[in-house]
Amino acid sequence: MPEIAIILGSDSDLPKIKDCFSILEEFGVSFDITISSAHRTPESTREWASSARDRGVMVIIAAAGGAAHLPGVVASHTTLPVLGVPIETNIAGGLDSVLSIIQMPSGIPVAAMPAGKAGGSNAALFAVSILSVSNPDYAMKLKKYREKMAAGIGVKNEKLKSLGHAEYIKKLGEGK
Amino acid sequence: MPEIAIILGSDSDLPKIKDCFSILEEFGVSFDITISSAHRTPESTREWASSARDRGVMVIIAAAGGAAHLPGVVASHTTLPVLGVPIETNIAGGLDSVLSIIQMPSGIPVAAMPAGKAGGSNAALFAVSILSVSNPDYAMKLKKYREKMAAGIGVKNEKLKSLGHAEYIKKLGEGK
Amino acid sequence: MPEIAIILGSDSDLPKIKDCFSILEEFGVSFDITISSAHRTPESTREWASSARDRGVMVIIAAAGGAAHLPGVVASHTTLPVLGVPIETNIAGGLDSVLSIIQMPSGIPVAAMPAGKAGGSNAALFAVSILSVSNPDYAMKLKKYREKMAAGIGVKNEKLKSLGHAEYIKKLGEGK
Amino acid sequence: MPEIAIILGSDSDLPKIKDCFSILEEFGVSFDITISSAHRTPESTREWASSARDRGVMVIIAAAGGAAHLPGVVASHTTLPVLGVPIETNIAGGLDSVLSIIQMPSGIPVAAMPAGKAGGSNAALFAVSILSVSNPDYAMKLKKYREKMAAGIGVKNEKLKSLGHAEYIKKLGEGK
Amino acid sequence: MPEIAIILGSDSDLPKIKDCFSILEEFGVSFDITISSAHRTPESTREWASSARDRGVMVIIAAAGGAAHLPGVVASHTTLPVLGVPIETNIAGGLDSVLSIIQMPSGIPVAAMPAGKAGGSNAALFAVSILSVSNPDYAMKLKKYREKMAAGIGVKNEKLKSLGHAEYIKKLGEGK
Amino acid sequence: MPEIAIILGSDSDLPKIKDCFSILEEFGVSFDITISSAHRTPESTREWASSARDRGVMVIIAAAGGAAHLPGVVASHTTLPVLGVPIETNIAGGLDSVLSIIQMPSGIPVAAMPAGKAGGSNAALFAVSILSVSNPDYAMKLKKYREKMAAGIGVKNEKLKSLGHAEYIKKLGEGK
Amino acid sequence: MPEIAIILGSDSDLPKIKDCFSILEEFGVSFDITISSAHRTPESTREWASSARDRGVMVIIAAAGGAAHLPGVVASHTTLPVLGVPIETNIAGGLDSVLSIIQMPSGIPVAAMPAGKAGGSNAALFAVSILSVSNPDYAMKLKKYREKMAAGIGVKNEKLKSLGHAEYIKKLGEGK
Amino acid sequence: MPEIAIILGSDSDLPKIKDCFSILEEFGVSFDITISSAHRTPESTREWASSARDRGVMVIIAAAGGAAHLPGVVASHTTLPVLGVPIETNIAGGLDSVLSIIQMPSGIPVAAMPAGKAGGSNAALFAVSILSVSNPDYAMKLKKYREKMAAGIGVKNEKLKSLGHAEYIKKLGEGK
């Protein structure tokens, strides 16, 4: 019985949100992953979504690209919180996925996450923040995660001060 | 048993595509109209779409605004031709509806019609052109419709020539 | 101790999300409203956000227009779920608000709601769906809300069938 | 006498819609391909389009990029259904082709297909759906095509479940 | 035998470019106006365009909205200079007309004029500048037109200096 | 000898940035206003800009709409700080003015201010912040301006708390 | 004394419009090329532009990227026809250059050419079409150029028919 | 006590604005660089910004990508001039960063610099122009910088004239 259920419109989206998986694992959140398309497998998407609350799922993460209907279609079959992750496309600079996810009609909410690199990680973190509402353990873990993030930036500043910007940029380039 | 089945995401979309109804009536095409939302009434939308071919429907016209998922959701439940009409919104200059309808994933086609005034009329005319593939009567009617359109422009040119542009513009303004 | 805390960048945004207030009242959710700008009152915004969890707040709704930084700034000071509502502007078709809210960097999630009419109502409903994760009462109420919504569409279809589209459109116009 | 006639504005568009050809072949639909530009060879485009119905053509597929006028110009010379496929460009994120095809004026409909990878395949499938209106054999084949598509996703889910996401992503990368 | 031939896709575009007519009259340039649609009357558009040079026309001005194909279609039938004027629409902030006119393929040039108020006047002035290449009289008139424009701004500055900004703004408002 | 020199491409832009004038007056900054177009009066624009530093001007504010070249052209003739204010247009949602001002080439900087209502006021405040670098009096006045702004929001919150949101919204509406 | 004068904002734009040079050479049109920036060398740009007509120049081609002011600035100093070529950028999908060139204010026209590959060639061809107004030799050459273009497409069609699409696409790939 | 303080949302932005550092060094302006995120390290960002004037800082340069809140957040804590540099992203063609920085609300100004290559250099040059208001030495240096820039273009023109365009383009390619 996973706390978070993840659904993707295509297996090619898996690597694009892999930060989502690693962050959930880092927080010790249970989750499962299903590939199911709003359009190509509407029946299994519907069954998956409409039974999610009864399966004990607490939050749903749905990722899709193009005319990204998946988060909305999932939300139409459940009253659980649904987080929509737009997968970047080349058309209109990715606005197709972003607008298809954010502009849901009144009555059926979807929470839109960022397009691009931050989509997977922020979906994971937002899901944990929802769990933290009734689970103080997750609230504590989120607080520590942020402190670690801030500390990491502190370390970079010290390195920048000691190396100087020219050297730092050179090392960044090599690090790639 | 209508030849064309029309579905709208909201009754407020009815006046925006009313040219669709008048053109279908002008061509003598039978049609019915249903209000059903991809998100608010997913079950009735699914039943409506998946039974359409058995009800004798030949072409589906689906109109929706915002993150306009309705045409895509309908197409996921039928292999009939589905024409999607984007209803204009204020966000991103209406690009939300346009991109949500046109950018369907590979495998589940939707035919996108224009946003704005031409959406309803062109959906009706495109539906008739589909019927005309196997019905020479409709092919004949389409040909006549175009001839009438062209003749109308000819009349305007004669009027413009006799009135002059200043007078013509003045009459246009009064005509509104 | 309200379950939901709402923050707006300007009092002129109040009427634009009033559906948010009426839906929360309909669900019996406790909430309070504060006007505080990310830029004009950064100190009070920070204090408000960083103390929210200790005040017993469970979900935050933040609405702002233009370069809508408020939801992100609030999220930088709390690990509670923050829902961002873009208030429509005229520039770039409102893309400024939408993109400023949705494109948060990795690590600090904000859940973007729709721009336009559905922003306020969906923020309220999404907030309730978060509460429903640990409160079955709200899950039940959400289910009923959706059934009522679907039933309302059923009534409209019956009316449309009995009146016909021409008469229905005429009555819609008069209703306005 | 092909059932489908395909026209491209440039031979460089051929590889971009090659899925169109393979799907039509898979369905056993007869088709021919012509390169003809709306602007560079207007006379041959006009003759090709205006004689299409008499040649027995049932559906036209027209692909073009930039200010993609070809589908509209073809539609101005025939009342057959014309499917327009926008070829991606770099300008305005490809919006030039998308908007040039979708925003046809009232009276001369064009059915806009997706920009990008799905353009060719969906044009083929939509053309078959039009043929299926009067040909139950194609309706049956479309149904099977969708079942195969859905089954393929089922296989991927089983593989994902047995491999786990980390291993699956690794194999995806190698598969490329 | 007019020096300039103007073609419009619809008579509703007449008032939107009326500055074009008044400027041509002010310069004493002969012109005629024809309403003809790229899509609704392709034959008469073709005949009109392909015979233009033989009729003595020197420059063509073509105005159209939406998927504004008219300037491009006209240019495909003549090697005369064709100026395209995008008529503003509501979709994508008028980008549909702008991009449909400017993004012509290599080989068939169209000169795009501004969308909005300046479209008509600048088309007229650009047409005159083309005539001025071989007609020094028009070159002289253009020079005077610019001097008058500059002088008009000088007068406004004097008025602004004597009135002060508050009073000037007040008078501007009354002037409307 | 004004500290700030303001230049506008058209007198119709005067009312759109009038907040600029009132804020400068409130801060006791001396300024003058000139109407001069980058394109219609290039000579006087050039003279105005190239002599500005010698006239004792410290900061330039340049407002223009459409292909808003004025701020860039002014900046090409002076090394004083130039603030560019985009005047809203209807084309592309005002992106024409915004992008024409912000995307200056390397070497000739212009500081872009917001399009819309905040353009005039922020140009004034940014100009004062530049003066404040060498004038502690302006630094003090800016600090007080911000405190007043913050205090104003505090008053609104108290009113909101005492009236309740329904009553507050009602009074807002009446206030208009 | 060149017939056409070409000006570029940067030498890095030279390769992007090289089709312009080769087409002018093919037509036997005399031309010269100058690098001069609207912002970095405003004085030499002004002198170059304001003396162009006296130097015998008949048409000006101005290419620039980003906030592409060069064509407009040149047009402000001459009444010759100015063709503006937007050089593609990465920002806003190149809309910055396109809109900066096309949205000139009333009174100072610039003829916008396509962004991307067709910009250089169409500027050359449009310039020749202007020359053709008073030079029948160029009119004849333009006619032949179009016939050659059309014939080239005919050859491709024959090759496509004899090879089949699969083989043709394969050869296209190898040709690159 | 640096004259200019630079803040970046991420160390990955360092190489993207490195022209900023080299230009400041060329002008002999003192500066320091800090990495601090508006969202990940809000406390240190606030302290850094609110103490900047007391540390003797005269101008702040803030660079950030995505929903680029950093310049606005910094501006909310200081009345010093803040220059915002949008770091390019892939979403919406970089419009997310551009609009998040330019569309600041009335009262808290930020000066938006170009997205892309010119962002870093123009931020440096604009900062120097602010310093030049009270420091004639910098005014002199800016004047010389521009003269050098103009002279560089003169050299290129001579080279172009002596080599011819074909050879020049060939050498450009080799130079890369």
Per-residue pLDDT of chain D (176 residues; tens, 9 = 90+): 799 999 999 999 999 999 999 999 999 999 999 999 999 999 999 999 999 999 999 999 999 999 999 999 999 999 999 999 999 988 888 999 999 999 999 999 999 999 988 999 999 999 999 999 999 999 999 999 999 999 999 999 999 999 999 999 999 988 75
pLDDT at D10: 95
CA dihedral B45, B49, B50, B55 (to 10 degrees): 130
- G91 and H88: CB-CB below 8 Å? yes
pLDDT at D154: 95
Chain G residues touching residue A92 (CB < 8 angstroms):
93
Say which of G88, G149, G165 has its CB closest to residue D14.
G165
Chain A residues touching residue C110 (CB < 8 angstroms):
122, 126
* DSSP line for H109-175: --EEPPSSTHHHHHHHHHHHHHHHTT-HHHHHHHHHHHHHHHHHHHHHHHHHHHH-HHHHHHHHHHH
Chain H residues touching residue G11 (CB < 8 angstroms):
156, 160, 168, 172
Residues of chain A with pLDDT under 50: none
Res. C69: pLDDT tops 80: yes
Identify the residue among D13, D39, D87 best suited for mutation to test binding to E, counting E beta carbons within 10 A and taking the highest.
D39
Q: Can you list the positions of beta strands (E) in chain F?
A: 4-8, 31-35, 59-65, 82-87, 111-112
> Rounded CA gap, B71 and F20, in Å?
48
Res. B24: pLDDT tops 70: yes
Res. B140: pLDDT tops 90: yes
Say which of E79, E106, E125 has its CB closest to residue G129.
E79
> Rounded CA gap, E32 and E44, in Å?
16
The tens digit of pLDDT for each residue in C70-109 reads 999 999 999 999 999 999 988 888 999 999 999 999 999 9
Q: Does the interface predicted TM-score (ipTM) exceed 0.90? A: yes
pLDDT higher for F116 or B82? B82
pLDDT at A91: 86
Q: Are D and C close enough to touch, i.e. 3+ CB pairs under 8 angstroms?
A: no
pLDDT at F3: 97
Interface of G with D (CB under 8 A): 88, 92-95, 98, 114-116, 118, 146, 149-150, 153-154, 156-157, 160, 165-166, 168-169, 172-173
Arithmetic mean of pLDDT, G132-140? 97
- H66 and C104: CB-CB below 8 Å? yes
Arithmetic mean of pLDDT, F147-161? 96
> In the complex, which subunits touch C with 3 or more CB pairs below 8 angstroms?
A, B, E, F, H
For residues C99 and A50, the answer to whether their CB atoms sit within 8 Å is no
Res. E176: pLDDT tops 70: no
Chain B residues touching residue C114 (CB < 8 angstroms):
66-67, 91
Q: Which of G16, G5, G126 is nearest to G61 (CA)?
A: G5
Q: Which amino acid is located at E169 in the chain?
A: I
Chain H residues touching residue D92 (CB < 8 angstroms):
93
pLDDT at F60: 98
Task: Kindly report the nearest CA distance between residue B110 and chain F, in angstroms.
Answer: 27
pLDDT at H175: 73
Instruction: Find the helix or strand (DSSP H, E) in which F38 lies.
Output: none
List the strands of the sheet with F31-35, edge to edge: F31-35, F4-8, F59-65, F82-87, F111-112, H111-112, H82-87, H59-65, H4-8, H31-35
pLDDT at D18: 96
Q: Are A and F close enough to touch, i.e. 3+ CB pairs under 8 angstroms?
A: no
In this prediction, residue G1 has a pLDDT band, given cuts at 50, 70 and 90, of: confident
Q: What percent of chain H has pLDDT over 90?
A: 92
- Sequence-ordered list of residues with C-beta below 8 angstroms from that of C30, at least 6 positions apart, any chain: C1, C2, C3, C4
Which residue of G lies nearest to E120 if distances are taken between CA atoms? G106
Res. C2: pLDDT tops 90: yes
Sign of CA dihedral H132, H136, H137, H141: positive
Res. H119: pLDDT tops 70: yes
Q: Are B and G close enough to touch, i.e. 3+ CB pairs under 8 angstroms?
A: no
Residue D20: strand, helix, or coil:
helix
* DSSP line for G29-41: --EEEEE--TTTS
R_g over Cα of chain A: 18
Q: Are F and E close enough to touch, i.e. 3+ CB pairs under 8 angstroms?
A: yes
pLDDT at H42: 97
Q: D61 - beta bridge partners?
A: D6, D83
Structure-token match 């052209």, residue found: F73
In this prediction, residue F63 has a pLDDT band, given cuts at 50, 70 and 90, of: very high
In this prediction, residue B1 has a pLDDT band, given cuts at 50, 70 and 90, of: confident
> Rounded CA gap, C168 and A85, in Å?
39
CA distances for D68 relative to D10, D88, E71, F161, G85, angstroms: 11, 10, 13, 57, 19
Q: Which of H53, H132, H126 is nearest to H85 (CA)?
A: H126
Res. B117: pLDDT tops 70: yes
Arithmetic mean of pLDDT, H114-129? 96
The tens digit of pLDDT for each residue in E40-73 reads 999 999 999 999 999 999 999 999 999 999 999 9
Res. H176: pLDDT tops 70: no
3-state secondary structure C80-121: CCEEEEEECCCHHHHHHHHHHHHCCCCCCCCEECCCCCHHHH
pLDDT at B168: 96
Identify the residue among B48, B69, B106 best suited for mutation to test binding to A, counting A beta carbons within 10 A and taking the highest.
B69
Identify the residue among D24, D96, D133 best suited for mutation to test binding to B, counting B beta carbons within 10 A and taking the highest.
D133
In this prediction, residue F117 has a pLDDT band, given cuts at 50, 70 and 90, of: confident
In this prediction, residue H112 has a pLDDT band, given cuts at 50, 70 and 90, of: very high
Identify the residue among E17, E98, E99, E102 best suited for mutation to test binding to G, counting G beta carbons within 10 A and taking the highest.
E102
Say which of F93, F150, F154 has its CB closest to residue C93.
F93
In this prediction, residue E117 has a pLDDT band, given cuts at 50, 70 and 90, of: confident
Say which of B115, B146, B160 has its CB closest to residue E11.
B160
- D169 and A18: CB-CB below 8 Å? yes
pLDDT at H145: 98
The tens digit of pLDDT for each residue in G37-96 reads 999 999 999 999 999 999 999 999 999 999 999 999 999 999 999 999 999 888 888 999
- C149 and A107: CB-CB below 8 Å? yes
Tokens of D29: 């639909």
Chain C residues touching residue A125 (CB < 8 angstroms):
107-109
The tens digit of pLDDT for each residue in G61-71 reads 999 999 999 99
The tens digit of pLDDT for each residue in H51-79 reads 999 999 999 999 999 999 999 999 999 99
Task: Kindly report the nearest CA distance between residue B30 and chain C, in angstroms.
Answer: 14
* Residue pairs spanning A and C at CB distance below 8 A: 128
Q: Which amino acid is located at E41 in the chain?
A: T
Tokens of E171: 């008078």
